[in-house]
Structures are given as C-alpha cells and as structure tokens.
Amino acid sequence: MAANSPEFALHTEAAKRVDERASSILPTIRALPSSPSKGPDFHPVDTITDADILSANRFILEQDPTGTVSGVRWISQGMWVGWTDTAFKPIKALVDDLANRKPFRDVISQKFLLQEAIKWLSETLEHSRSDAFSEFITLRSTAAVRQYDIWIPLARTFALTEFNIGDVAFRVFTKQIMDEWWNRITPKIRDDAGSMGTLNEWRSELQAHLAACISVRAEQRMAVEIARAKAKNAAALLRFLSPANVDSRLASCCTPAGSQSFGIVMEVFMNGGCVGEMSRGTEDQRSLMQWLVDRSREQMPGVLENLHRLASDLSTEFSRSLYDALILYSRQTLAVEVSDKLVFTLSALESMLLRDSNEPIQKNLGERMAFLIGQSAPQRKEILKNIDETYKIRSAFVHHGQTARHVDTVDRFLVNAWTTFSRLLDLVPKYRTKSALIGALEDLKMS
C-alpha cells in the first residue's frame, strides 16, 4: 500500500483479495479473431490522417445490445488478444466491486476503473510492469482526482443576473468570457476555415446562455457525471418558474445542452429514384420556447428563493418528498403532448398529497388541493370540478389512447397544480413529514 496515497488505500485483507482476483484473470487471456463484423456503409464527414490523431486507445471495447461493455481486445505481438463474453465477466465483476466500494464510489468512475484494470492486465501480461493491482489502482486513482469547475450550458435559457439553487450556481457565458476564449485560438486553427466555422457555431451556442455551474472534486469522468446529474436536477427545479408550467401549448428547453430532445425532423423528396430536395428542421417549433429567467423571477417573487431553500436543506421527510415530486413534475414542462403533461403532473401531485395507493385517488387529491389553494367555497368547488374533468381526460388517454385536446380545462388544471406546488414550497419550514401535512388538511376539511 502506498504510504502517500491514504485516500484510496485498501485495508490489507481487502487489498489481498483484490490482488488475488486480478491475478486469477491473467491466465484466462485468449487469442481472438481479427475480422470485425461488417457494419453499415456510413459516409465519412472528413478524412482523418495520422497527423490528425493526437493519441489513440489501443484497446477496443465490445458492447452487448444494451450498451454494456462485454469484452476488450487489442493487438499484442501481431495478434488480437483479450477477453470477451464469459471470460470478460470476472473483469467486470472486479471493476464493479471497486466502483461500489468506498472511497472509490463517490469520486472515481466505473469507466476509469475499467480502463485502468485493462491497462494493468495487459502490461502485466506483456511484462512491462510487476506491481500489485491494488497498489497500481490506488496510485492511479489518487493521481486522477482533482478539483473541477464545470459549467453545463442550458439550451435556449438566458438570464441577466446570477443566482443559486442549492449548491448549483447559475452563471452566464458572457461576451467577455467568450472573447477571452476566442482570443486564445491558435493561428493554425484560425487559418482553417472549417475549424473556425465549427468554433463559431460553438460560440453562438454558448454566448449569453445560462449555465449550471458545479464545483466538484473527483476523477474527470466522475466529475462530469456528478456535474451533469446536479445540473439536470437544478434545471428541473428552475423550470418551476417557466411559463411552460401553466400553458399546455408550451414546452421548455431548459435542460443541460445535449440532453434535450427537440424532435429533429428531415424529409428527402425523391425524383425517379434520385435525391431531389431535402428539408431539415425542428418539429413543432412554435411550442419550444426561449426563456429569459429574469422576467419569470419578476412575475413570481420569492419562488426562486423557496427553491433554493428546498434544495439547500433536505433534512426532513417532507422536504425530500417535495423535492422528488418537483423533479417528477418538472418533466411536464419538457413535454409537447398534452397527454404527457397530464400524466407527469398528476403523478407528481399524487406522490405528495396521497398517503398511499390504498386511498381513493381522485377524491382525496381534489379535496386536498382545494383546501391548500382555494380561498373560498366557490373556488374549492371549481378546483374539485376541474380535477374531475382532468382525470376524465387522462383516463381517455391512458385507457383508450385518445389524445388530450381540452386545452382550457387542462390549462386551468396546470395553473392549479403549479399553485399547489408553490404553496407546498411555502410550507417547507412548517411540516417535517408528508403525513403531518395531510393530517392538517384532513382536520381543515372537518372544521
């Protein structure tokens, strides 16, 4: 065990078992066929020469139909060797065990551990190293961990001021930031029109856009996984301020760039078996909104602060339940189909306002919403009526496949749902459990 690597040091017995497992894999190496299976005849976008390759991974990972790595191969002494299928399983089991073990679990990615395990196995077989696997993986993990500040841009989302939701800071890719990056482009790249065109597109996709900013100490792949997970949830909470919450015609694009689905469509018009005209665009462009967060903050004072408070302290069962419900609820703002909006919204409300699956759903949900947000008896009756109509629309979709088209009814329901969650955010300091809230609402109904 390395004395200067205490963070990833395994206990003596654990290190011994890991070393035994790694060593037992070595003699199972096999020679493999060299001919890969023929795939689709893709068209290359450009020609890559040896001069364009800065580094190349000698290992080729094979995957099963689910995308899980199921084998590895490389060329050694002029032949293909490696482990595939059943022979690869001990490697995967060893790596998975390390990835789920502290201290690796929270800061080292499974991909990194797999890559390093394969490196140790191959170099040990080729007699270019003689250290124990546990010592090797400890040193490599320690060297890989560092502090990263990662900004995840949000699609079509803008802001003039900066703010936080929990431990995620929302910052803007300002012109000054992008100018500094642009000025560091090397003369060689500036002389390449294709490269400059690509970089100009990147700049256009970043400048003025809002980003979820996360500071994390981990190995790089794990740092990215952590950052994207945090950004995804913070963006989900941020969408609670979006107009897409209360208008069934709108869909938000406020997601980490690259994770959104804008429904890219393409048509090719053929003429006598030959390609004629082509068209490419985004389906249902009108519903996919660009969003300036500052306007929503002005219209909904205090809501962002409530979201920040919730995300910063999940110490109670009530706050954790509400956080999970809001993450689920936020999916309706991304949905284009009205039916999908109903499914996500009702599911989120049911998760917060029902004790369990044994309660009558429609009656209890409607009454509890009515007493949460209704200010008078007539208002509460309207909320109950709207819930009844909304469940009929959802039932027609879920059970009969009918598309939801009752826009007025749905929009009134979406407003009621948003108001309900807003009220629940106000109540975070008051209740420690969901059952305490439900009990208070039942008492109110009887008063």
CA geometry: angle 162, 168, 174, nearest 5 deg: 35
* Interval 272-276 mean pLDDT: 69
Q: On the CB side of 151, how many CA atoms lie within 13 Å of its CA?
A: 13
Question: Is the model's pLDDT at 264 over the cut of 90?
Answer: no
Do you find a cis peptide bond into 153, omega within 30 degrees of 0?
A: no
The secondary element (H helix, E strand) that includes residue 275 is strand 274-282
CA distances, 382 to each of 7, 83, 385, 411, 434 (Å):
60, 66, 5, 14, 25
Q: Does residue 164 sit in helix, strand or coil?
A: strand
Q: How confident is the model at residue 2 (pLDDT cuts 50, 70, 90)?
A: very low
* Interval 5-23 mean pLDDT: 87
Asked whether the beta carbons of 160 and 45 are under 8 A apart, the reply is no
Q: How confident is the model at residue 64 (pLDDT cuts 50, 70, 90)?
A: very high
Summarize pLDDT for 143-188 with one digit per residue, the tens.
999 999 999 999 999 999 999 999 999 999 999 999 999 998 999 9
Bridge partner list, 210: 172
- Its pTM surpasses 0.85: yes
Q: How confident is the model at residue 205 (pLDDT cuts 50, 70, 90)?
A: confident
Range scoring the smallest mean pLDDT among 62-76, 133-147, 233-247, 397-411:
397-411
Range scoring the smallest mean pLDDT among 154-158, 262-266, 337-341, 406-410:
262-266
- Rounded to whole angstroms, the Cα distance separating 242 from 237 reads 10
Bridge partner list, 280: 266
Range scoring the smallest mean pLDDT among 197-201, 383-387, 411-415:
197-201
Q: Over the chain, what is the mean pLDDT?
A: 89
- Rounded to whole angstroms, the Cα distance separating 318 from 326 reads 12
Question: Is the model's pLDDT at 50 over the cut of 90?
Answer: no
| Identity of the amino acid at 181 | W
pLDDT of 3 reads 38
Q: How confident is the model at residue 288 (pLDDT cuts 50, 70, 90)?
A: low
Question: Is the model's pLDDT at 55 over the cut of 50?
Answer: no
Q: How confident is the model at residue 271 (pLDDT cuts 50, 70, 90)?
A: confident
Question: Is the model's pLDDT at 276 over the cut of 60?
Answer: yes
Summarize pLDDT for 104-128 with one digit per residue, the tens.
999 999 999 999 999 999 999 999 9
- Rounded to whole angstroms, the Cα distance separating 299 from 303 reads 10
Question: Is the model's pLDDT at 287 over the cut of 60?
Answer: no
Asked whether the beta carbons of 312 and 166 are under 8 A apart, the reply is yes
Question: Is the model's pLDDT at 372 over the cut of 90?
Answer: yes
* Cα torsion through 158, 163, 167, 173, rounded to 10: 40
* Interval 129-143 mean pLDDT: 95
pLDDT of 406 reads 57
pLDDT of 261 reads 52
Q: How confident is the model at residue 258 (pLDDT cuts 50, 70, 90)?
A: low
Length of the chain: 447
- Rounded to whole angstroms, the Cα distance separating 139 from 166 reads 33
pLDDT of 5 reads 46
Q: How confident is the model at residue 9 (pLDDT cuts 50, 70, 90)?
A: confident
